[in-house]
């Protein structure tokens, strides 16, 4: 059964709308610091709160096999509404750091029913060409993640609360589109029971394990890079006082361009192979980490921004490809659980890298700190070249 032509566009649009919740706090970080008297290190803590909520959420969803036992579209809708409500909580005037962290934690918790469940829905519709489909889907995640930065730039004359209210509205809209227009897919095989052992047993599959470890290496770098893009731009301005950047707009561009890279990577993988394209993207992003200190001394702001744009492309281009490899090497009955498990561990890794980078920036002003992000890609590349054969159709 060939899926309707509107299915993929609806999934992509819904994913974009809902994942705008992810970095909504980062998009208005300056206003949160000023309004609630937060410290400058709050950027790392608030980003990690979302990640930690996502980790706990994916752990719960995986253990209970939520995405395999219940209609994924309905799960997506419920989580979109609840995530939107907790995102709105940040505008409460009585907030302090603890309450804002709590609201961001629960926003992340319900994102666990959006991002991996969205991939599960796509996998239920597209067995062939899954890499291309997930390229569009992860591309929507990337643009959704970057969108609060653009929204902040577009609403300079308005209250920062507008950004949070707008992203919450988009999330509810995305959830409604998904539940209203995307029924359960033809390749869905619902599970009738909780697979408590799936969390561990899935890694006994060697090809699955190799693909998952490649993804984990990629995740070490990805969200830390995204979280610190505005900081990198600010740092360059401090080093080169004559430079003037529109930081919100450039942050959107640098992060959002990765959405195009995901789509292009999905198409290229159809001819060049999923694993091969994922390997090349991970290798290039690793190189960006290692040479990043040299670029901060670069006098040409055009070269510096171009470098960050290129980094923004290669840092995410492999993400849908790794998800494709994971989905292809997991059994159909626990495909949703397998994707959720891998997301859970991957995002746990992001907390470590974000907090480590946050602390290193406190210890030293050296721009060599970003080289630490290369550690994940190096280990991921080793996993990909292991003798375990990973299916990459």
**pLDDT tens for the 393 residues of the chain, in order:** 455 678 889 999 998 899 888 877 767 777 787 888 877 667 678 777 888 898 899 888 877 878 778 899 999 999 999 999 999 999 988 888 889 999 999 999 999 999 888 888 888 888 777 778 888 888 888 888 787 777 767 656 567 888 889 899 999 999 999 999 998 877 777 665 555 556 566 777 788 888 999 999 999 999 899 989 988 998 898 888 767 788 888 998 999 999 999 999 999 998 899 999 999 999 999 999 999 999 988 888 899 999 999 999 999 999 999 988 988 887 766 777 788 788 888 888 988 998 899 889 888 888 899 999 999 999 999 998 875 555 555
HEC string of 67-127 equals HHHCCHHHHHHHHHHHHHHHHHHHHCCCCCHHHHHHHHHHHHHHHCCCHHHHHHHHHHHCC
Residue 393 lies in a domain: no
Residue 391 lies in a domain: no
Residue 343 lies in a domain: yes
Say if residues 37 and 23 touch (Cβ distance below 8 Å): no
Alpha-carbon gap, residue 65 to 202, rounded angstroms? 13
Residue 1 lies in a domain: no
Residue 248 lies in a domain: yes
Q: What is the pLDDT of residue 149?
A: 72
Rounded (10°) angle between helices 335-363 and 42-63 = 160
Q: What is the pLDDT of residue 51?
A: 81
| CATH code of 290's domain | 1.20.1250.20
Q: Considering only CA atoms, which of 143, 12, 166, 152 is closest in space to residue 87?
A: 166
Angstrom distances, CA of residue 87 to CA of 23, 70, 136, 215, 260: 10, 25, 25, 28, 27
Residue 117 lies in a domain: yes
Say if residues 118 and 29 touch (Cβ distance below 8 Å): no
Say if residues 48 and 355 touch (Cβ distance below 8 Å): yes
Residue 392 lies in a domain: no
Positive or negative torsion for Cα 380, 213, 189, 184: negative
Q: What is the pLDDT of residue 1?
A: 47
Alpha-carbon gap, residue 78 to 245, rounded angstroms? 39
Domains: count for the chain? 1
Q: What is the pLDDT of residue 286?
A: 97
Place of tokens 């210890």: 363
Q: Considering only CA atoms, which of 11, 49, 10 is closest in space to residue 29?
A: 49
Domain holding 340, by residue range, is 7-384
Say if residues 195 and 341 touch (Cβ distance below 8 Å): no
Residue 377 lies in a domain: yes
């Amino acid at each position: 059964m060939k899926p309707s032509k509107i299915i993929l566009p609806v999934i992509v649009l819904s994913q974009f709308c809902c994942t705008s919740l992810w970095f909504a706090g980062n998009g208005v970080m300056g206003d949160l610091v000023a309004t609630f008297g937060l410290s400058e290190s709050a950027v790392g803590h608030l980003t990690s709160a979302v990640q930690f909520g996502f980790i706990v959420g994916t752990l719960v969803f995986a253990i209970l096999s939520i995405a395999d036992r219940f209609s994924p579209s309905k799960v997506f809708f419920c989580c979109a509404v609840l995530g939107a409500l907790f995102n709105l909580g940040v505008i409460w005037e009585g907030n302090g750091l603890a309450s804002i962290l709590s609201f961001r934690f629960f926003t992340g918790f319900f994102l666990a029913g959006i991002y991996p469940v969205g991939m599960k829905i796509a996998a239920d519709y597209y067995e062939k060409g899954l890499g291309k489909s997930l390229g569009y889907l992860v591309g929507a995640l990337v643009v959704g993640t970057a969108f609060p930065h653009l929204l902040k730039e577009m609403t300079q004359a308005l209250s920062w609360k507008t950004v949070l209210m707008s992203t919450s509205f988009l999330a509810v809209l995305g959830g409604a589109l998904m539940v209203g227009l995307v029924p359960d897919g033809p390749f869905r095989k619902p599970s009738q029971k909780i697979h408590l052992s799936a969390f561990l047993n899935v890694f006994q599959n060697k090809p699955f394990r190799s693909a998952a470890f490649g993804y984990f290496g990629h995740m070490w770098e990805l969200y830390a890079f995204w979280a610190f893009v505005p900081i990198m731009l600010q740092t360059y301005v401090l080093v080169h006082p004559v430079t003037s950047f529109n930081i919100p707009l450039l942050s959107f561009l640098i992060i959002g361009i990765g959405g195009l890279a995901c789509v292009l990577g999905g198409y290229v993988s159809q001819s060049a192979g999923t694993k091969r394209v994922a390997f090349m993207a991970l290798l290039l992003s690793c190189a960006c980490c290692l040479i990043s200190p040299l670029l901060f001394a670069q006098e040409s702001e055009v070269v510096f921004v171009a470098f960050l744009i290129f980094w923004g492309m290669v840092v995410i281009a492999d993400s849908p490809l790794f998800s494709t490899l994971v989905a292809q090497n997991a059994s159909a009955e626990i495909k949703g659980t397998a994707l959720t498990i891998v997301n859970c561990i991957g995002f746990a890794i992001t907390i470590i890298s974000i907090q480590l980078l946050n602390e290193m920036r406190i210890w030293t002003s050296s721009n060599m700190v970003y080289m630490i992000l290369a550690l994940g890609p190096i280990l991921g590349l080793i996993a990909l070249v292991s003798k375990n054969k990973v299916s990459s159709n």
